[in-house]
Amino acid sequence: MTTISAPPAADITVLRDAVGVLEPADSQSGAIDRIRQLEELKAACAAAQARETAALAAMRYQQEAARGVAKTRRCKGLGAEVGLARRDSPTRGARHVQVAHVLSTDLPQTYAALSAGQVSEEQAQIVATETSWLSPAHRQKVDRLIASTLGTVGPRRLAAKVRFHAQHLDQRAAVARLAKAASQRRVSVRPAPDNMAYITALVPMTQAVACFAALRRDASTMVGTGQTTDPTDPAGQPRTRDQIMADLFVQRVTGQSSAPAIPAEVQVVMTAETLFGDDQTPAWLTGYGPIPAATAKTWLANPEAELFLRRVFTRPTDHQLVGLESQSRAFPTGLRRMILLRDDTCRTPYCDASIQHLDHVRPVRDGGPTSWENASGLCAWCNQTKENTGWHHSGGPDRLNVTTPTGHHYIANTTPVLPEISPETRPPPPTNSTDCYATRTPVITIAA
C-alpha cells in the first residue's frame, strides 16, 4: 500500500488559491466534468476536515486527561471551537465533532466513500445520524450493509435504508428511541425570505399526519364549496388550498376566527423619517431582520395592537446605540431591552441563535460591572461554553473578542440597529426643523 504524507498547511492554502482562480471550461461537457470533479473535491475536503476534527478531539482529550480534568469535563467547548473555525454556529460545530468521531471509528465504508468523492458531506452526516443510537458493532454492520448503496441514491432514500437496517438490528432500542423522541417534541420558528417565517412543530408522526390531514381536508372542502375569499383582504381575492391551510393553522392555534393581530410582543426599530414621514428605509424586527417600511406601518395601524413608543439615541458617526448602565448584577429592564436591540441575535461569531442570556463579558467574580460596556447577549450554549477552561471574552459595545483554548481569536463587530443607507438614496433632512434625525431612532414595541 502506498502512503501519501499529509501536505503542510501552506500547501492546502496554495490548493485553495489555485481553485479560486481556475478558468472556466471551454465546452459544455467540460463544464459538467468540472462541476462533478469539484463536487468530489468538496467531499474529499469534508473527509479531511472530519479526520482533522477527530485528531483534534483525541489530542484535546489526552491533554486534559494528563492535566487531571474530570472525564465528564474533557473536550467541553470543543464543538464551539470547531464551529468558529468553520464559520459555523456552536451547535453545528458540536455536530461536526460527533460526526467526525463516528466516521473515523465506526463507519469506515462511509468515510472511504466520502474521501473518494462518492458521497457528499450531507449524505455522510445522514449515515452518522441515523446510526448514532446503535452500539459500535451494530453501527459498523450497517456501514457494511449500505456500502453498495453509497453514491447511488439521494439523501432521503439513503436515510430510509440506513434507518431500516438500524431498526432491524436492534428493535428494542429502536422502540425506546421513538419513545424518547416523543419526549423531545417542541415548536420553533425561523425567518424565511420576503417577510415570512417557518413555524415548525416536532411531534410524533401520527399526530403530524393527523394535523396535516385535518387542515388539508377542511381546506379542500372550502375550495370545493367556493369559500375561498380571504376575510382580511379588502379586495376579496380568492385563496388557494395551500393559503387556506396556512390561514386555518394560524386561526386554530391562536383561537381567533381571523388573526391579523397575534397576542405577542415584538420590537421594531425605525428611523424618525420612516415613522413620521415618507422615507422608505426598511424597519428592523429584533431577532429577525429587515421588514419593509410599509409593512411596519401597517402593523402600527392595526387597531387591535397596543403601541409603546420609546426613543433611543445613536451616535451620529456610526449609528450605534448609546449605552446605559447599572451597578446591580441583574440587568435592569431598560438596559436589558437596549442590549437585546443592539445585539439582535447571539453575539458569538457565526452563531445566529436567539439571545437567551445577558452575559457579563468580564465576569462579576472578576469585578466585571453590570453595564452597557460589559454586556453581551448570548444563547445558552455560548454562555455555557464561555465558562470552559481556556475560553476568554473581551471587548465592549462595539465588538466582542473571543479567544479559544488553542489561542485563536475571533471578532464579532457590533452592527448598527439599522444598516447604513447609501447617501444617494437617503432623502435630505427637513429644512424647517432643528431636530437631528440622524441621532434619533424611535423604537416601537408592539404588544397586543
> Is residue 291 classed as helix, strand or coil in its secondary structure?
strand
Whether pLDDT at 401 is above 80: yes
Which residues, 6+ apart, have CB-to-CB distance to 171 below 8 Å? none
Instruction: Identify the residue whose cell numbers are 473535491.
Output: 41
Average pLDDT, rounded, for the chain: 81
Residue 444 pairs with which residues in a beta bridge?
A: 268, 309
Q: Of 110-114, 138-142, 313-317, which range is least confident?
A: 313-317
State the CB neighbour count (10 A cutoff) for residue 369: 17
Most confident segment among 120-129, 262-271, 295-304: 120-129
Q: Which 8-state DSSP code applies to residue 58?
A: H
Q: Of 143-147, 267-271, 326-330, which range is least confident?
A: 326-330
Whether pLDDT at 204 is above 60: yes
pLDDT at position 357: 87
pLDDT at position 192: 82
Q: Are 358 and 331 a contacting pair, CB within 8 Å?
A: yes
Whether pLDDT at 317 is above 80: no
Name the residue ranges covered by the structural domains of the chain: 30-183, 187-254, 265-318+435-447, 333-413
Assign 288 a pLDDT band (cuts: 50, 70, 90). low
Taking the C-alpha atoms of residue 193 and residue 5, their distance in angstroms, rounded to an integer, is: 46
Q: Are 324 and 372 a contacting pair, CB within 8 Å?
A: yes
The pLDDT > 70 percentage for the chain reads 78
Taking the C-alpha atoms of residue 66 and residue 69, their distance in angstroms, rounded to an integer, is: 8
Nearest to 405 by CA among 92, 101, 82: 82
Taking the C-alpha atoms of residue 305 and residue 298, their distance in angstroms, rounded to an integer, is: 11
When comparing pLDDT for 96 and 389, which is higher? Answer: 96
pLDDT at position 140: 95
The grid coordinates listed for 397 are 459595545
> Is residue 410 classed as helix, strand or coil in its secondary structure?
strand
> Is residue 55 classed as helix, strand or coil in its secondary structure?
helix
Q: Which pTM does this prediction carry?
A: 0.67
Whether pLDDT at 94 is above 70: yes
Nearest to 361 by CA among 389, 413, 401, 410: 401
Taking the C-alpha atoms of residue 442 and residue 435, their distance in angstroms, rounded to an integer, is: 13
Percent of the chain that is helix, strand, coil (3-state, to 5) = 45, 15, 40
Taking the C-alpha atoms of residue 162 and residue 172, their distance in angstroms, rounded to an integer, is: 17
Q: Of 25-29, 111-115, 149-153, 262-266, which range is least confident?
A: 262-266
pLDDT at position 325: 39
> Is residue 441 classed as helix, strand or coil in its secondary structure?
strand
Nearest to 74 by CA among 83, 82, 65: 65
Assign 315 a pLDDT band (cuts: 50, 70, 90). low
Whether pLDDT at 436 is above 50: no
Whether pLDDT at 142 is above 90: yes
How many angstroms separate the Cα of 246 from the Cα of each of 114, 197, 212, 380? 40, 12, 10, 32
Instruction: Identify the residue whose cell numbers are 478531539.
Output: 57
pLDDT tens per residue across span 41-57: 999 999 999 999 999 99
State the CB neighbour count (10 A cutoff) for residue 442: 17
Q: Are 269 and 227 a contacting pair, CB within 8 Å?
A: no
Whether pLDDT at 170 is above 70: yes
Which H helix or E strand runs over 376? strand 375-378
pLDDT tens per residue across span 241-256: 898 899 889 888 877 6
Most confident segment among 107-116, 314-323, 325-334: 107-116
The pLDDT > 90 percentage for the chain reads 31
